Structures are given as structure tokens and as C-alpha cells.
Chain A
Amino acid sequence: MASSTSSVITLKINGEKHTLPVDHRTTLLDALRERLDLTGTKKGCDQGQCGACTVLLDGRRAVACLQLAVAAEGREITTIEGVADGERLHPVQQAFLDLDGFQCGYCTPGQICSAIGMIEEHAAGWPSAVTEDVRPEAGPPPLTADEIRERMSGNLCRCGAYVAIVEAVARAAETHPDEGHATLAEGTKETVA
């Protein structure tokens, strides 16, 4: 049924191949939600301005609302439905659950996928906008609370669960094999009073 405005594509999602015809206009987000019944990826703004639709493309976080489905063919797509190890939750999921890192839950899959991608980026030594010295000689920045906040800022949470989300991300990051426990120690232990 391929025409000049539609194509039959194969998407590899959570390790599984799905072949489907798509209107070229269909975003990856709409393909997931409306065609493949993978509704865990949320549509908050459909404009790349909230992060609710964050998925992992080839292991890196990306927003599915600005990714055309047809252009995602050939890439490894991981959604919230694919991050757990069977019944065992991903450490980020578990930390969100245990520390109440959400309220309405709508931004949550995006926050979790974003955190998973962010922890990998940090483990690879990527700096952020709040990294004091971005030069490679300065070494990788410790994943302080401020670093987490900056790196997670592409994920809005209107309920305002940010405090618990940052705690959850910090806790989950400690379990990452490439994250030294010491790097997390200082900045995350903040107090108000």
C-alpha cells in the first residue's frame, strides 16, 4: 500500500520488530500510541517542549513527538514498556516508585526514560550547562543534585514532583556500574534548614 505519502516500515521497538504501513506524517509518538498500542509514551505538548514522550533511540534519549516514524526505521527504539527486566523493574523505575517520584504519573515514563539516558550520558563523561569547567582536563563532573536538575530540565512535571524525582534519579544512578558512589555523595545531601 506504499504510495508517495505513505510507506510500509519496520520499527524495532524494545527488541521486537513491528511492520506497519504509516502515513509519512505519523510521528514515532503517534505510531507508538495509536498504531502499536504502546501507550506508555505520553503526549504532553507534541512540540518538543515538555519531554513527556521521551524514549531511547539507539540508547540515547530523544523526544518521540518530533521524530517521524518513517525516519525511525532502522533504529533501536526503547520505550518505557521495554526498560524493565521482565518483572524486575529498572533501578530508575524502582526508585521512582519507592520515593514517590511522581504524582499524576503522566510525565513519569518520559522522566524515567530521560533519567536512564541521562545517567548513561553522565557515565560517558558528558558535561552539562552547570558543569563548572567543561574542559576534558577537568574530568567528569560529579553527579550532584544541581547536575541532575539541569540534565533533567527537559522533562516538565506540572504536579511539581521534582524534589522526589531528583532523589530517585540520584538513588538509581548509584547503582550504575560506571558511576562511582563517591561522585554522588556531596551535592545530593542538601538540607533546607
Chain B
Amino acid sequence: MTAVTTGTTARTASVGTGHTRVEGRDKVTGAARYAAEVPFADLAHGWLVLSTIARGRIRALDTDPVLAMPGVLAVLDHRNAPHLDTDYTGMLGKPDPTCAVFQHDRVPHLGWPVALVVAETSEQAREAAEALVVHYEQEPHDVEFTADHPDARPVDGHMPAVTEKGDLDARLASSAVVVDAEYTTPEEHHNPMEPHAATARWDDGRLEVIDSNQGVTWVAGELASLFSLDPASVRVRSEHVGGGFGSKGVRAHQVAAVMAATLLQRPVRVVLTRRQMFSLAGYRSPTAQRVRLGADADGRLRALEHRSVSRTSTVHEFVEPSAGVARVMYDADAHHTANHVVRLDVPTPTWMRAPGEAPGSFALEAALDELAEKCGIDPIELRLRNEPETGPVSGLPFAGRNLAACFREGARRFGWADRDSRPGVRREGRWLLGTGTAAASFPAGAAPSTATATAHPDGTFTVRISAADIGTGARTALALVAADALQVPPERVRVRIGDSDFGPAMIAGGSMGTRSWSWAVKTAAGELRERLALGADIPVEGLTVRADTTEALGALAPAERHSFGAQFAEVAVDVTTGEVRVRRMLGIFAAGRIVNPLTARNQFLGGMIWGISMALHEEAVRDRASGGPVGADLAGYHVATHADVPRIEADWIDDTDPDDPVGIKGIGEIGVVGAAAAVANAVWHATGVRHRSLPIRPDRVLSAAAGARDA
């Protein structure tokens, strides 16, 4: 084990040692309260009514009979809802108009919020919402996503849509070996276990929202902008969050709850149903990707093309940048990447754990495996031969690229050296066995954050930062970082998070949360310790130091900053039933300094399990006729459960980031990256059949077997 568990120069080194979660006891006893669980006197319940057509206009809503139903307090729709301002740029860009509910009569997708029914109890609200008759003027819709959709066009998003260097066609033509393959991934949904929920109320002239989100100052800022409120008059709290994965930002439910609380002048709670989440919580777009690789006989890449098409709604542009991963992973004389987007009558997709990298790495790393097969080179050796010196597109130096070390360590522990490269030759009873590998990378970054550290006269400390713990263990990690900066045991540090009154901070997203927050916390706590060391007095209310990392982050030199990893999987496939089971899995990561090995291992494993789930199970099905989802629930949308997950292991190599005060890079997303490709590559090794469309369902395995039989 090469985990970073060694001490540092600090007198008390908490970072790097395993600690159970500080809120763990509350979570195992049920005491931790999530967004829908904070009680309020006089609470009213809102229930959203969603459109049943995919495109058109609302002609009429029969609200009168609904208002006469027992307990019903109000019906909000586009005719009586307050005006919202959507012409602003928030922390993460222009708002998705999907959250600006009830502003017009247009319906841009099935499941669009058309009304909110508010009642005294949730049972009354639900029945009244279901009873509301809405008349539509229906228009023809297009929800069919295809790789060759005529409206697909390049879209930038958070990175340039297109990068091109070299003459691709010429290099492909002169390559000894060429891989040209198309890969698809389906519509995937975050499905955090806790449905989105918000309670809004006005308290002494301030709007307070108890919410489940990934960034309280982000959501508070958006609500202030939407409702044209002074940002100081909006407070958003989100103490415990039951998972997010990118879906928990500003959504229809918070906005509708604020509207209703304003209208009724009493607290209003709106909770999404699991079914509604399939329309209102965002999702990962399906992708259609084409990868073309040209290589010398020894596997050295001469040409690389990665093109991806994803889809968005007609009201907001979101790009799933799957081709971006190739800009980091592999170089070639001719190197072309492009992200295209097609607008359809569907809900707007959003960030979902490893956006771009998750589907992109499936295509690229599967294509690398195909190239290894064609060249007759071991897949790990192929990757090692193609390690770039600098960023393939940017030309910038890598601020640490320990991919090769991950592969070496992983190969040793997985027993890769004994692997017979031939496909379809290992059998155990009804199962064919195979192993596969893939590389992983995810950007390492930090964003400006503020934090305060307070010393109390009793020798304890309080750290306040508007961070979010969506299951990452952020609260605990920040306590360890603060304890080291203060040179005290972590038991003497209280960390308070999830309150927008604590000031601006990065969201829990982009694998940047813990790093961004730790930077601010370490700075504030470090300054506080210096002041105490100089003999500062601690008044009764405590001595507080505030830190803002904006300037420090601006001083970072440009570089290719990423975490890396090597994924290994062994699968068993029964080609007579189509069943695929993952037997074992190993991920070795170079992801910066690991703050809390106990929770970090859990998070890496969780990412790898997402990879299993993506490879074998997850797929939302959209009905062409209606434009809506079919089987929009957890029985229709399968995520991996206990029985799908064997004993899997995650570990890491020493990879401290020299440019980060704590050495952190970020671990939230890299566990997913490459995991699905490793599983798919293992399925090929087991069966000899390439599955280029996810998920690798039983019917696809059976159809492949039937195709081989009939051929």
C-alpha cells in the first residue's frame, strides 16, 4: 500500500490519517436532518404539475375546481406567477430558463412545470395537482437523438468546441494501423437518493430557503437574481445533502417554493417526486461518438480524431464535452476533437459526475483497446508508449502526470502480467472470463472561496465556510485541514458549512470543492494561528480571521492540471443469457494528497461503482411518440445495487500537488472515468465481441451472440 499516510512537518498531522465522519453519528442514528426534514409551524405543501406534451402551448388551466378541493391554498401558473429576471450571469453562467417557472405559456419539453398546487397537507396537494386539467395546443416534437442529426453544430460550453492540428486524413492514410469506430452512451440520470427538496419562508424581511444543494451561495445568488432581491436579503441553508452528482443546483422546486411562500406569506415546501426528477433534475445527455486512431505498427499514434455529439433542450445550451478528454490523454501529429450539440424538445441536460470525461473516456479508452488488439500490443504498453510530454492541444506542461505509475502499481496488484491477451478463451462453468483496463483523468482545479476561522476562549475553534457535504466527507476533511493549520487535534475544531451567510465559496462540483475550500480554510486558520502566536487576546465572542483565496488562485501559473488513474476490471459473461457480472475491480489513482483515506477510498470506490453501473445498467428510455421518459423510476432506471458490486479496491500513489497549500487535486469524479471502458474492454476479452454501445445489456450480448451464430 502506497497510500499517503506519512506525517508532515506539522506538529500535529491530521491530514492523511483516517477519520470517521464528524456527522457520522447523526447519520447512523437518523438525527441528521435533510432539506425536507426541518419542521416549520404553519408549513404548506406545494406539488408541481408537469406538462404531458413535449411541445406546444398551454391553452387553459382549469384551476377553479382545484381551488375548491379540500385544503388547497393556491394554484400558481404563468398567469399569476411573479415575474422572474433571467437576464443575468450567475456564478456558473447564464441561468437555464428551466428553473424560471411559470413565466410564459410555451411548453418546450414533456415534464415542463406548468403549475404549482399548494395545500395544507402533502396528500391534499398531490391529489389536487393530479386533478388539475391543463389544455394544450400541441405541436409536433422531435426528441430523436442521432449521430447524424442535421441540426448538430459545434458548441463551446466550458471549453472550445473544436481543436484541430495537423492533416488528419493524410495521417490516417499513412498509418499502418487504423481504428475507426462509433460509440454511444445513453441518457443517464443522477438519481441522488434524496429527492430535490426546498422549504422557503420569509423571516423578518429576509428570504430563507432550506434546500438540498451543492452550493448555498450559488443558489442564494441565483434566487436573488431571479427574484430581483438584494443578495444580502437571501439566506440559503443546506446542512445535509443526500447526494447531488451535479443535479442539485437551481431547479424549479426552489423557485416555485419561493413564489408560493411570497404569495401566501407562510413557509412552503416543495419536494420533487422520483418520477418528476426524470424531467426536472437535469441528466447526462446521450452521446454518439466517433473515434478514429491511426498508428504506426508499434502503436505510436499518428492521427487521433474524437468527435462527440450530445443533445440539449431548445431553451438552453448545454454541451456534454466528451471529446475533451482526448485533449489531455494522447497526442498525435494530426489531432482533431470536436463537441457538437443538437437541440431537441427535451429537458436541458446538465453536469453529471465527470461530465465529458465519463462518456468520453468510454469511447476513447475502448478505442485504445481496439488499437492494442490490432497492433498486437498489450493495452498498458500501448498507453505508456503514447504518454505525451506536454498538453497535446495546449502545449502546456503537466503539473504532475503520474499515469504510468498508476498503471505499474495497478498491473502489479491486479496480476496483469499473467494475462493471456487472446479473447474468448477462459471459461468457468457457464461464464466466460476476461479482464480489461483503461486510463482515467480529470481536471484538477480550485475556485475562489472565502472562509472564517474563529478562536474561542475555551481553546476550541470554529471554521465557517459555505461548503457543501454531499457525501464527500467535506466537513470532516476541512476539520483535518483546519486542525493542522491551527496545530491542534481535530476534536477541537468545529466546522460549520451549508449556510450562505458564511460568504461566497466554490460549490461541491468539478472535483474542486474540497481543494477550493481547504485552501481558504487553511489560509484563515493559518493566519489565526499566527495572530494567536503573537499573543492576540481572545474576546468572549471569539477572535475571527477571514480569508479569501481569489488573489492566490489568480497567481497560479497556467499548466495542465489533472488527476490520473488506471482502472482494471475482471468480468464474467454468460453469452447464453446475456448476463455480465463484474468479478473484481481495482483502481489506482494519482489524485493529489489524500486528506482522509477512510472517506477518500469510499469516494473512489463510489466512482468506480458508477462506472460499473454506467457500463451495465443505466439507461433512461425516451418514448418517441410522446417525447417523455418511459419507466421513469428506480425500477425502470437501474442503478447498480449490492449484488452488482463485488469486492473492489481503490488505492492511490503519492501525488501531492506542489501548487496547492495542502497538496490536494480532487477525487470526486476520477473514479468514474475509464471505469466503464475497463468493464467493456473486459467484456471483449471474455467474449471476443466489442460492445460499443452502453449499457451492455443482456439483450445486446444475446443479439451479438445470435449475430455471430448467424454469420
Contacts and interface: CB of A to CB of B under 8 A. Distances in A.
Direct A/B contact, Cβ within 8 angstroms = yes
Interface of A: 23, 25-26, 30, 33-34, 37-47, 49-50, 52, 79-81, 84, 89, 93-94, 96-98, 100, 102-109, 112, 130, 145-146, 148-150, 152-166, 190-193
B635 A160 contact: no
Contacts of B415: 193
Contact of B635 (A30, A49, A145, A166): A49
Contacts of A164: 602, 605
Contact of A192 (B23, B470, B586): B586
Contact of B25 (A97, A130, A154, A159): A97
Contacts of B537: none
Given A44-B274, A104-B193, 10 more contacts: A43-B36, A47-B635, A100-B601, A106-B34, A106-B242, A156-B639, A159-B603, A160-B607, A166-B642, A191-B649
A109 to B, nearest CB: 5
Given A107-B193, A192-B649, A25 B123 contact: yes
Contacts of A94: 28
B20 A81 contact: no
A148 B31 contact: no
B645 interface: yes
A153 B642 contact: yes
A109 B30 contact: yes
A103 B471 contact: yes
Nearest to B473: A103
A146 B647 CA distance: 10
B240 interface: yes
B606 interface: yes
A102 B242 CA distance: 11
B698 interface: no
Interface residues of B, number: 71
A192 B584 contact: yes
Contacts of B243: 103-104, 106, 158-159
A52 B414 contact: no
B115 to A, nearest CB: 21
Which residue among A37, A79, A158 has the maximum number of chain B CB atoms within 10 Å of its CB? A158
B646 to A, nearest CB: 8
A77 to B, nearest CB: 14
A163 B605 contact: yes
A30 B642 contact: no
A158 B642 contact: no
Interface string B389-427: 000000000000000000000000111000000000000
27 contacts: A30-B122, A42-B193, A43-B271, A44-B274, A46-B273, A47-B274, A50-B634, A79-B30, A97-B24, A97-B25, A98-B20, A100-B598, A100-B602, A106-B194, A107-B193, A108-B27, A109-B28, A153-B641, A160-B608, A161-B605, A163-B605, A163-B647, A164-B602, A190-B646, A192-B586, A192-B647, A193-B649
Contact of B471 (A25, A37, A105, A152): A105
Contacts of B28: 80, 89, 93-94, 96-97, 102, 105, 108-109, 112
Contacts of A160: 605-610, 613, 640, 645
B468 to A, nearest CB: 11
Nearest to B671: A160
B29 interface: yes
B20 A97 contact: yes
B192 A106 contact: yes
A47 B121 contact: no
A187 to B, nearest CB: 10
B634 A105 contact: no
A149 B635 contact: no
Contact of B193 (A30, A50, A146): A50
A149 B642 contact: yes
Contacts of A155: 641-642
B634 A26 contact: no
Nearest to B277: A45
Interface string B30-62: 111110110100000000000000000000000
B585 interface: yes
Interface string B468-508: 00111100000000000000000000000000000000000
B533 interface: no
B643 A153 contact: yes
A112 B194 CA distance: 17
Contact of B122 (A34, A107, A130): A34
A151 to B, nearest CB: 8
Nearest to A51: B641
B242 A105 contact: yes
B29 A40 contact: yes
Contacts of B414: 192-193
B21 interface: yes
A30 B471 CA distance: 25
A109 B34 CA distance: 13
B599 interface: yes
Given A81-B30, A153-B641, A190-B647, A33 B37 contact: yes
B123 A23 contact: yes
A103 B642 contact: no
A152 B242 CA distance: 20
B27 A105 contact: yes
Nearest to A49: B634
B100 to A, nearest CB: 27
Given A30-B122, A149-B642, A156-B641, A100 B20 contact: yes
Contact of A45 (B123, B606, B634, B645): B634
A108 to B, nearest CB: 5
Interface string B262-302: 00000000010110000000000000000000000000000
4 smallest beta-carbon distances between A and B, as pairs: A40-B30, A106-B242, A104-B471, A160-B606
B270 to A, nearest CB: 14
A161 B30 contact: no
Contacts of B585: 192
A157 B644 CA distance: 12
Nearest to A23: B123
B620 to A, nearest CB: 15
Given A104-B194, A106-B192, A39 B641 contact: no
Contacts of B27: 102, 105, 108
Interface string B534-546: 0000000000000
A57 to B, nearest CB: 17
Interface in B112-134: 121-124, 127
B609 A145 contact: no
B191 interface: yes
B193 A80 contact: no
B266 to A, nearest CB: 16
A48 to B, nearest CB: 8
A56 B563 CA distance: 44
B527 interface: no
A10 B127 CA distance: 25
Nearest to A146: B643
Contacts of B645: 149, 160, 162-163
Interface string B2-29: 0000000000000000001101111111
B195 interface: yes
B33 A39 contact: yes
Contacts of B639: 156, 158
